[in-house]
Structure 1
Amino acid sequence: MTALTEFQRLEAQGVWRETPETRQREVIVSLGEATLTLMDPRTDKPLSHWSLPAVTRLNPGRTPALYTPSTGEPDETVEIDDPLMIEAIERVQRAIATHRAKPRRLRGAATVLAVLLMLVGLIFWLPDALVRHAAQIAPPAQKRTIGLAVLSDMEAAAGPVCRRVSGQQVLDWFTPPFVGADSLVQVVPGPLNGARRLPGDLYVLGEDLLAASPGPEAAAGHLLSARLAQDDDQVTLDALRHAGLMTALRLMTLGTLPQGAMKGYGESLLAQPLPRPDLAVLPAAFAERDLSTEPFARSIDPTGTTVLPLIEADPTRAGTPARDLLTDEQWLALQQICAG
């Protein structure tokens, strides 16, 4: 520090008292980088060493200046009347204090920054973490409620769910091997180009797929593909992210879904491409269910160009017989699910 360098060889006369009971004696006060050394003027023998940061002036503003090496009882004191030495001691002490204050300020700034970062992290991380937690702990009935709310919003653009009893009975009978025994499959009149999974093991098919297919194999393939593309927790999380934090909190605390929580979400899903799994995993899943991959592949690309690996991996080509999913009468009933 500049102050220490400037005064490192400064000396002055002083009057030292070792204890209140001893008599005063003249000494030479020598200013070092961080110490005051009191020396016998006859022998230059050091009598006492004081740490400058601990030196306290007992009579600020008065001369001679009276110093003690501690803030407790001033047992040891020294009087100095040399103005240059007094100024030097004051400047060196200020320099030391400033040097000490900088780390404290840096620590304070670092603490404030850490707190701010924590607050920012909580603001941006906590809401999504709570929504994730709500999606994970939601029981099947709650997820189904969310899925039905999404489907209800979807009906505004895709048309009301087709309710013909005979067609729904066929749908309920042949779809469990592809989507699970507890799943619910619904058909809407609007085009979906396949099947989409909603929360609560709810699946939606478009009537366009049923009308354009020669049999139920393509519909079965799309349902299986939708199941493999996303799990129930993921589609529930996506729906709750749309609904927002307050909906997630209400779902966790009260177990109810606010009316209109999924408004706009079903329609936005219709504008998005259908999620599809890696085509490489499909042949094995189709083979496990004795289902041909070709009708599914041709429904995606009638030319077969973009789905050729899926067609070539058709398990029926390897000699595995395809299962008969429906009779002609059942298939006709399914195709007419939206009629009347």
Structure 2
Amino acid sequence: MIAAIDTLRRAVARARPHPGRLRWLGAALSIAAVAALAVFWLPGALREHALRVLPDVKQSEIGADLLQRIGRVGGAPCKAIGTNNALQNLARRTGARRIVILPGGIRETLFLPGGTVVLNRALVEDFEEPDVAAGFILAERARNSTSPILRDVLRTAGLRGTATLLTTGNLPDVALDAYAEQALASARTAPEHDTLLEYFAKAELSSAPYAYAVDISGETTLQLIEADPMINKEVRPVMPDADWIRLQAICES
């Protein structure tokens, strides 16, 4: 009888709730939820917040810092007497804030935070008309409109780097160096043709010269050739011939 009573008592004890155990389980679940938010949600949310609140002046500063770091590998921006007007004309026609030509480092073009577009010297030296260089600038702007480069910079900087930017106004040097190395090594993804054609139409530029520069056969850029917004229309020159000739020699001095 005593043994049976002990067995019954143990069974009842097991069936009773254990508040301490439930509290520990609840705390563990809460900690896991917070950790999941910190790992998966917070970095992206902080990054998007930075994109919304970061002023243009600060974006331009980040762009200048990146250009300085890229220039250590690709060389200082090319300069020559009489080319400022040509660069300004090219920027105005393509909607860029500023155009910089480097002797090397980047493969073709690179959009920098703040609106500067960097070109490899080959885009002005290897083609007879400025329409090709203008097309690559428009492609870079179109690419940035769908995938802002500042988002890539902050993604490379990570949670700590983005938080540092928001609290101090500066990105850590290590984050800038890391993105500069990444920009030099990685290939640029081609923008959607429909998006790119909109940029050519707005700039009143023919898309065919750019299309053939990307693919001389025209097979992979056929849409840009057939849907050229300036077909059967008079195209206003990007710049005077004299300015283009000067620009082609900008890296020779």
Q: Distance in 1 between matches of 2:78 and 2:174?
A: 22
Assess, with a 3 A threshold, how the Cα gap between structure 1 residues 281 and 236 changes in structure 2: closer, same or farther.
closer
- Cα shift at 1:328: 0.9
> C-alpha distance in 1, partners of 2:12/2:20?
13
Change in 2 beyond 3 A, CA 1:127/1:315: closer
Aligned match for 1:96, one of 12, 30, 37: 12
Q: Which of 71, 85, 100 is the matching residue for 1:169?
A: 85
Q: By how many angstroms is 1:225 displaced?
A: 1.1
C-alpha offsets along residues 67-107 of structure 1, whole Å, 9 cap, x if unaligned?
xxxxxxxxxxxxxxxxx2x65444323312201247974x4
- Classify 1:254/1:104 alpha carbon distance in 2 versus 1 (closer, same or farther; 3 Å): closer
Q: Following the alignment from structure 2 to structure 1, what is the Cα–Cα distance between the partners of residues 106 and 166? A: 32
Contact 1:154-1:265 within 8 A present in 2 as well: no
Query: 2:239 maps to what in 1?
Result: 326
Judge conservation of contact 1:172–1:185 (CA < 8 Å) in 2. yes
* Structure 2 residue 194 is matched with structure 1 residue 285: no
Which of residues 131, 146, 155 is equivalent to 2:62?
Answer: 146
- Aligned residue in 1 for 2:248: 335
Question: TM-score, with normalisation over the residues of structure 1?
Answer: 0.67
Q: Could you tell me the percent identity over the aligned residues?
A: 31
CA 1:205 to 1:334, structure 2 compared with 1: closer, same or farther past 3 Å? Answer: same
Residue 336 (structure 1) shift? 1.8
Instruction: Assess if the C-alpha contact under 8 Å between 2:104 and 2:120 holds in 1.
Output: yes
Residue 275 of structure 1 aligns to which amino acid in structure 2? T
- Is 1:159 matched up with 2:75? yes
Distance of 2:146 and 2:228 partners within structure 1: 27
- C-alpha contact (below 8 Å) 2:78/2:250 kept by paired residues: yes
Say which SS state the counterpart of residue 296 (structure 1) adopts. helix
Could you tell me which runs of 5 or more consecutive residues in structure 1 were left unpaired when the two chains were aligned: 1-83
Counterparts of residues 104-119 of structure 1 (less than 5 Å):
105=21, 107-108=22-23, 110-119=25-34
Q: How does 1:149-228 map to 2 (within 5 A)?
A: 149-180=65-96, 183-190=97-104, 192-228=106-142
Alpha-carbon distance in 1 for matches of 2:17, 2:233: 82
Correspondences of 1:246-285 after superposition (within 5 Å): 246-285=160-199
Q: Which residue of 1 aligns with 2:53?
A: 137
Structure 1 range deviating more: 132-141 or 327-336: 132-141
How many aligned residue pairs are there? 252
Q: Which moved more, 1:164-173 or 1:194-203?
A: 164-173
State the shift of 1:115 in Å.
2.3
Structure 1 residue 159 displacement after superposition: 1.6
Please give the root-mean-square deviation of Cα atoms over the aligned residues, in Å.
2.5
8 Å CA contact 1:294–1:311 kept in 2: the answer is: yes
* Residues 316, 132 of structure 1: alpha-carbon distance in 2 compared, 3 angstrom cutoff: closer
Work out whether residues 89 and 239 of structure 2, in 8 Å CA contact, stay in contact via their aligned partners in 1. no
Distance 1:132 1:315 in 2: 34
Q: Which has the larger radius of gyration?
A: 1
Structure 2 unaligned spans of 5+: none
Partners of 2:69 and 2:12 in 1: CA distance: 71
> 1-side partners of 2:69 and 2:146: how far apart?
19
Higher relative CO (CA 8 A, sep ≥ 6), structure 1 or 2? 2
Output the CA distance in 2 between the equivalents of 1:261 and 1:169.
Answer: 34
Q: Which amino acid aligns with 1:131?
A: R
